[in-house]
Amino acid sequence: MKLTTFFTSVAAVTGILVGGMTTASAESTLEIVKKRDHLRCQIGKPSPGFYTIDAKGDWDGFYVANCQAIAAAIFGDKSKVKYQSVGSQVRFTALANGESDLLSQSATMTMSRDSQLGLDFLQTNFYDGQGFMVRKDSGITSALQLKGAKVCVKTGSTSELNLADFSRKHNLKISAVTFEDFNVRDETYVKGGCDALTNDKSSLAANSAAFPKPKDHLILPETLSKEPLGLVVRQGDSDWANLVRWSLNAMVNAEELGVNSQNVDEMRKSDNPSIRRLLGVEGNLHDGIGLDKDWAYNIIKQIGNYGENYERYLGNGEKALGITRAGTLNALWTNGGLLYSPPMR
Amino acid sequence: MAFVKKEITHARPAPLSERSVIGWMHKHLFSSFYNSILTIVTLYIIYITTKGLWVWGIADAVWIAESRRECFDISIDGACWAGVIAWMDNIFYGRYPKDELWRVNVGILLLIVWMLPLWLPRVKGKIFIAITLISFYPFLANYIFLGGESSFFSQFMVSAAIVSFVVIMLNAIIGVIQGQSISTFIATRLGSSLKSEKSQRNLNLALLIITFIIAFLWQQSWVLGEVPWTKWGGLFLTLVISGIGIATALPGGIILALGRRSKLPVIKVLSTTFIEVFRSVPLITVLFMATTMFPLFLPEGFVLNKLAQVIIAVCLFNAAYMAETVRGGLQTIPKGQYEGAHTIGLGYWGTMGLIVMPQALKNMIPNIVGNFISILKGTTLVSIIGLFDILGMLSSVSRDLSWIGLHKEPLLFGAMIFFILCALMSKYSRHLEAKLSTNRKT
């Protein structure tokens, strides 16, 4: 905890220092990135579904694909990215000091982080929330039945604080069993050391794949916290923030319009003015963010739309975590979710 | 007279209680009631631990599987070594391109072959081997590992490295066969035609220059694709960082220790401050400052090579620690040695280099090797600041979706690698001590 506090305060100081410096500099982030000919994208320590190293040694994952999308928009080539993988303690500092151009990590947007670190949190592209997992044979079906239960939780995380809040609010007298390492936490839970396990629901789903018998476990319906996760850039370069924001919006918009990596070439001939504007066939949306006409076409052609990306890494794809999207906050607004891209016109 | 025995009485074997297995056991394991209990309890603990490890790690273990799920299907309680095997390349080489792994192997093999003559007693010119190793090998290794475009300077150094390597190898072969150094060998072969030392030196120089030109032309034909350092990782990265740290710690430490004992106030204060500052800060803080805070003081857009920053930080940190070890060793040398050196007319460097240091360094071997081992182990801290050294790779196995949650087996494997490396180092240090020990043994 102390270490984390230290790093956060360092990040804050860094943000202020860099914020002062950026106003003085003449070169925009986009110019620097173009001159360097690759994007520096900061991702997290390996975590299934979000950023993983495969046995060949390549990076892959939901947030890695976000980096690739930005690279595809700028260079027309999704491979022009260099990844930096840092832990959550130093992630904000490593963005604020200019080591990376953007942070594509599961960083929860909070008011204090957005307003105090000299960083801009762009809009959310994954909604997570903390939940509980229990053994099916325990007969528990609601978190409110966890009275006096022992719950395994990772130490120093917001999950620990949320658990304490939840226990107090509902007078459940939950006793938290804390762990430094999530592998040990999961193993203790599986071996019966705790009655329940708490973490972000996406991670619960991911980690249960590691259990000897995943079907014996159940995620309870209650959600304890709001975890809006999105991309982060340095404050002080609004043009760069626009570029990143609209690149992600383009993916959501493409899904809404039914454009995907398979049909994008045909869709260029579409009569729908929204699709024509998105793919750069007409209009001049690209002028505002300083890219080529084909920027959004390249994203969709090389990475796919939001839905494809979700299914490939988090949904029901072959190498995905298996978190069903329908009915969650991560569905499109037209399907009752929260994903909503402002109009691109 | 019958009082004197005619034949020699042979020594009788020691009593059975001294030499039989049962006697040994009685003496060492069951000498008293409480010792017997202790022995039985200990044996029982050893038995259950070994049995558990055996059953989990070998008997019930899965060696061939495609994913952890498959491991579970085959054996739910056994170890899943298949994951470690699938990740073997990543653990050893990190994200280095799989088609280019031979470059890492060649680089490391070159280092071993280069150092080999140092241990052959008949080979002459060991100082030359050590000096070329420190001054040229890093450039050669750098080119082999990194590849890409190389500057004229680096090509020059690579050629110099090739020449030194060839000379050292020839020298070693001649040394083993003839017991001569290469220059004497050439001179004796040519016989009386070259009498004067000067012409012999000229000949050697000419040979060197010719080899250099050939090497320079040859290395220009090398085409090695660039492998940026961000792709380096695994045990390879650990060895690069700790290897450079180990190679620089001792010279750096000696300079700092001498500086701290110097009579010149400026040098003394500077050395003392440096040592105390670095020793009072944990390595992780030094690393964090070097990689994350240091860029703040640079102009914007000026991004340093993170690996270089880490290596510099590790070198400075360990030099400071080594300095105190060396200072401790210097203090074991009695004053009489200095006075003796002065009476035979040696100056400061003569005293230090010929009299004090050789004795002090010999006394320090256990501490120095202890430091080296802690450098090797301490390097794993770089995984916190985002370099994927061996520890970073080992803990990434549990986050690969195919092997998710697999954390004990890779870490155990890593522990074995570290144990082997550290045990080799400490074994070598004991060998060195025994070899260098004079009759001043206490």
DSSP A224-243: ---EEEEEEEETT-HHHHHH
Contacts of B68 in chain A (CB under 8 A): 210
CATH 1.10.3720.10: which residues of chain B?
A: 88-96+231-399+406-436
**CB contact, 8 Å: B288 with chain A?**
yes
**CB contact, 8 Å: B92 with chain A?**
no
Interface size, chain A vs chain B, as Cβ–Cβ contacts under 8 Å: 115
**How high is the pLDDT of residue B67?**
87
Q: Inform me whether the pLDDT recorded for A319 exceeds 90.
A: no
**How high is the pLDDT of residue A23?**
44
Are B384 and A87 within 8 A, CB to CB?
Answer: yes
For each of chain B's 442 residues, which pLDDT tens digit applies?
567 888 888 888 887 777 788 888 888 888 888 989 999 999 999 999 999 999 999 888 999 998 888 898 888 888 999 999 999 999 999 888 888 899 999 999 999 998 888 888 777 778 888 888 888 898 899 899 988 887 888 888 888 899 888 888 888 888 888 777 777 777 777 665 556 677 777 877 888 888 888 888 888 888 888 888 888 899 999 999 999 999 899 999 999 999 999 889 999 999 999 999 999 999 989 998 888 778 777 766 566 788 888 999 999 999 999 999 999 999 999 999 999 999 999 988 999 988 898 888 888 888 999 999 999 999 999 888 888 899 989 988 888 888 888 889 999 999 999 999 999 999 988 888 888 776 554 4
**How high is the pLDDT of residue B229?**
85
**How high is the pLDDT of residue B439?**
52
**How high is the pLDDT of residue A324?**
84
Distance set, CA B121 to CA A108, B179, B183 (Å): 64, 9, 18
Alpha-carbon distance B319 to B395, whole Å?
Answer: 29
Q: Inform me whether the pLDDT recorded for A72 exceeds 90.
A: yes
Contacts of A19 in chain B (CB under 8 A): none
Chain A: residue whose CA lies nearest to B87: A55
Q: Inform me whether the pLDDT recorded for A299 exceeds 50.
A: yes
**How high is the pLDDT of residue A80?**
92
- Give me the sheet containing A130-135, strands edge to edge: A175-179, A150-154, A196-200, A130-135, A217-219
Are B405 and A321 within 8 A, CB to CB?
Answer: no
**How high is the pLDDT of residue B440?**
54
Are A98 and B300 within 8 A, CB to CB?
Answer: yes
Alpha-carbon distance A269 to A255, whole Å?
Answer: 17
Q: Domain A129-227 maps to which CATH number in 3.40.50.10470, 2.40.160.20, 3.40.190.10, 1.10.3720.10?
A: 3.40.190.10
Residue pair A234/A95 in contact (Cβ under 8 Å)? The answer is yes
Residue pair A66/A248 in contact (Cβ under 8 Å)? The answer is yes
Between positions 126 and 185 of B, the ones with CB within 8 A of A are: none
Q: How large is the ipTM?
A: 0.78
Cα distance from B402 to chain A (closest Cα, Å)? 8
Length of chain B: 442
Alpha-carbon distance B178 to B185, whole Å?
Answer: 8
**How high is the pLDDT of residue B442?**
46
Output the CA torsion A8→A9→A15→A18 (10° steps): -120
- Residue A189: helix, strand or coil by DSSP? helix
As a whole number of angstroms, the longest Cα–Cα distance in chain A is 63
**How high is the pLDDT of residue A12?**
55
Report which DSSP code applies to B62: B
Alpha-carbon distance A129 to B193, whole Å?
Answer: 89
Cα distance from A33 to chain B (closest Cα, Å)? 10
**How high is the pLDDT of residue B183?**
75
Structure-block tokens of residue B32: 């008293």
Are B404 and A99 within 8 A, CB to CB?
Answer: no
**CB contact, 8 Å: B301 with chain A?**
yes
Closest to B380 measured CA to CA, from B331, B310, B319, B304: B310
Instruction: Say which residue, A211 or B411, is predicted with more confidence.
Output: B411
State how far Cα B308 lies from the chain centre: 19
Q: Inform me whether the pLDDT recorded for A10 exceeds 60.
A: no
What average pLDDT does the segment A3-10 reach? 53
Confidence of residue A19 (pLDDT cuts 50, 70, 90): very low
Q: Inform me whether the pLDDT recorded for A6 exceeds 70.
A: no
Q: Inform me whether the pLDDT recorded for A132 exceeds 80.
A: yes
Alpha-carbon distance A135 to A189, whole Å?
Answer: 9
* Residue B411 neighbours by CB distance under 10 Å: 17
Q: Which of B98, B303, B399 sits opposite A48 (nearest CB)?
A: B399
Question: What is the C-alpha R_g of chain A?
Answer: 21
Structure-block tokens of residue A172: 């459940």
Q: Which of A27, A86, A319 sits opposite B385 (nearest CB)?
A: A86
Strand partners, A197: A133, A152
**How high is the pLDDT of residue A25?**
52
Residue pair A97/B293 in contact (Cβ under 8 Å)? The answer is yes
What are the b/e assignments for B220-258, b being 16+ CB within 10 Å?
Answer: eeeeeeebebbbbbbbbbbbbbbbbbbbbbbebbbbbbb
CATH T-level fold of B88-96+231-399+406-436: MetI-like fold (1.10.3720)
Are B400 and A48 within 8 A, CB to CB?
Answer: yes
Structure-block tokens of residue A302: 């090389």
Q: Inform me whether the pLDDT recorded for A116 exceeds 50.
A: yes
Structure-block tokens of residue A325: 């999207």
Contacts of A22 in chain B (CB under 8 A): 300
Distance set, CA B284 to CA B246, B250, B313, B370 (Å): 18, 21, 10, 20
Cα distance from B194 to chain A (closest Cα, Å)? 59
**A259 Cβ neighbours under 8 A, 6+ residues apart:** A267, A275, A278, A279, A300, A305
Contacts of A47 in chain B (CB under 8 A): 399
Q: Inform me whether the pLDDT recorded for A22 exceeds 50.
A: no
